[in-house]
Amino acid sequence: MLFDTFKLGALELQNRIVMAPMTRVRATACGVPSASGALYYAQRATAGLIISEGIAPSLQGQSEPNVPGLYNDEQQAAWTKITDAVHGAGGRIYAQIMHGGRIGHPEIHGLQPVGASAVAAQGTVYTSGGRLPFVTPVEMTVDQIEDQIAVFVSAAERAMAAGFDGIELHGANGYLIQQFLSDNSNMRTDRYGGSHENRARFAVEVATAVSDAIGADRVGVRLSPGGKFGDMNESDTEGLYRTLIGMLDPIGLSYLHVLETASDVVNDAIRDKWNGTLMVNPSFVDLKQMGTVGARFADKPNAARWLARGADLISFGRYFISNPDLVRRLREDLELADPDLSTYYSGGDEGYIDYPEWSPVNAES
């Protein structure tokens, strides 16, 4: 089943294996993707679908240095070369739009981050000056919220102009969309705070506006229910996500992408509430420390587990870094190479485009 074709909107995917979005910080200081990005993504084009690394929709939305953007012509032109390379290799690719919200710092972009409320995240953020404590974001007015929704729309339109097959809204891992969902980052008392419906409103309005602009069948949403990453705290996770999914479902989105950050009870509730294509990333399983990244990567047995539970697509992350031919290796049960953690975010081509495809020689070395 993992290697069956799948119809995703107007796209015919060659299998149900998805390359998950993974931050690689290879862009220039101006947010232009690395020239090597075309080869990096094309090497992995045997995936049924590639989801790009998180892309900042604006300078203010940039979460850390050397994250690529999609808010000016130079960035768009660089992404066009990448999408051309993927399509030339027979692949499909979505752009993940990732607005950092309060996960950012003036040292990165010279601007004060914005957020649902004026509450700083606990912890530190990497900047060109080293790791610095998060700053208190500007609590957005309703007018400013509408401005940020327009930022998502503009980035989505640029993504389509750059040749992407669709976009994914990053509503997980403590970034802006999840900041409206979380109790400890959203203290609002207006229509964007308080009840589950109000906390879900921003996510739904962003998804609706982007869908109106480029077509709902080209828009996916990624969520990490109950996840703690980015200093999140969602009480009544099941109730919150039942409400959110109930509001997203009628839009007719391309897919829902769920990280396994919650209990089976919550995940089953989401699966039962969602009527569209369900994509699952099964690599986050640590129920004692919910939302922390566990040591276990997404693998074939856990893909099978989730396909049996009702998922349509399975996203693989870290194994795609070190196995550009991951689809073949999974299909033929070949040994998987482990990625080098030291080069995840090191910049340059090492640990980026130099992982070899499987061969008997490599397997023996």
Tell me which residues are annotated as active site: 175
- Give yes or no for a contact between 168 and 21, defined as CB atoms under 8 angstroms apart: yes
Is 51 in contact with 41 (CB distance < 8 Å)? no
Coil vs helix vs strand at 237:
helix
Cβ count near 341 (within 10 Å): 11
> Distance between CA atoms of 180 and 190, rounded to whole angstroms?
12
DSSP state string for 66-109 = T--B-SSHHHHHHHHHHHHHHHHTT--EEEEE---TTS--HHHH
Query: What 8-state DSSP symbol labels residue 56?
Result: B
Q: Tokens 């509001």 label which residue?
A: 247
Q: How far apart are the C-alpha atoms of 22 and 321, rounded to whole Å? A: 9
206 by DSSP, 3-state: which? helix
